[in-house]
Each structure stands twice: as structure tokens, then as C-alpha cells.
Amino acid sequence: MHFDQAAATWDEDPGRRQRALALAGELRPIIRRYQVRNALDYGAGTGTVSFLLADELGHILLIDLSEGMARQARQKIAERGLANMEVRQLDLLTTPVEGQFDLVYTLMTLHHIRDTRGILERFYALLRPGGCCCIADLEAEDGSFHAAFPDFDGHNGFEPEALGRQMETVGFSGVEYHRFYTISREASGDERREYPLFFLKGEKKH
């Protein structure tokens, strides 16, 4: 998938903003409950979710592998004059990131990452004790979601219960999930399909 090329028009899709609004609504109570000050947005894209939360967080680190996405996010931060948001273009699986975070969140990114356990381990290591990891992603589907992208080599969604168990093996506790959004889109021809998204949360033990 060609995220660099798509970055310039990424924000024009109203469905992406609706998903971001839904996730921000899930995260706000967690920000209050866990007294979150600093957060990491993994696979941040153009930063849509983080801009919705910027007024409620002291600092947000946006990480994305795509140079184009990172460029768009930096431009939006500069246009808004925000001092509490920082963008880094890197591969979190291979590049060290200093510091620890109260919250790690990610929207529609994990299914692009082949090494699921590896990235969960990175999330866990980057959280402070008592911190929270929130994953919003596709429930398991038949492969039609990415049918238009023959080079897609990620996961066809996840069974959230199984992903939750994997979080537990990494060390997370208090793991729970629920369905929070449904994408409706054309799968093939004029056929419309619904693709549910789950919200999965786990805590790093004190």
C-alpha cells in the first residue's frame, strides 16, 4: 500500500475523520482515569486522532513509517502552532524511542504489522508502570477489505479475544475489548460490506 502517495489527500475521506472521532471518544475517559499527560500515537498518519486530543494531553509523540504522512502531520502542527505535538518517521520495531508514556494508542495500523507480538512488546516497554495501551482495529474479515491492494501483506483483521490473550502473554493485565465502530464500504462491484472495528485495552502492571 502506498501511504506516501496517499498522504496529501488522506484527510479528504470523511470516514477516516468519523473513525478518529469515535476513537477519541473512547480515549477521553481513559485519559481522565489514568491521568494521562504524555501519549504515543502509533501509525499516526496525518495525526487526525491526536489533533482531537491535543488540548487534553501535555505531550503527544506521533510515530509513522510513511514519510508522506509524517510530512503532512508536521505541516498541520505548524499551521496550528501546537507546541505539545511531535512527529517522528521511524520503524518502531527497529528504532529505539527514549522515554516512557502514560498511554499508547493506535487506529487501523496493527493489521499492517506482520510481527504482532514484536510490536506489542515495544508498546509494553514504552509504557510507564500503570500505563495503558489501546488498540483500535479491524475484526477478522475475509480479505475483501484490502482487495483493491494486491500488494497488501498484513493481517485480515484480528479476533480481538485472541489478540487480547497475546497482550497478556506480553505482560498486559486487565485486558478487555468491545466493538466501537463499523466501516461501511464497497467491497467489490456495487456490493457494500460492513467491517466492525474493536477497541482493545490493556494495562501495564505497577
Strand extents, DSSP E, 53-171: 59-64, 85-89, 101-107, 127-138
* Cα–Cα distance, 29 to 191 (Å, whole number): 37
* Cα–Cα distance, 135 to 164 (Å, whole number): 10
79 CA to centre of own chain:
23
Q: pTM of the full predicted structure? A: 0.94
Mean pLDDT over each residue of the chain, to the nearest integer = 94
CATH class of 3-204: alpha beta
What residue segments make up the domains of the chain, in order of their start? 3-204
34 CA to centre of own chain:
19
Model confidence over 155-169: pLDDT tens digits? 999 999 999 999 999
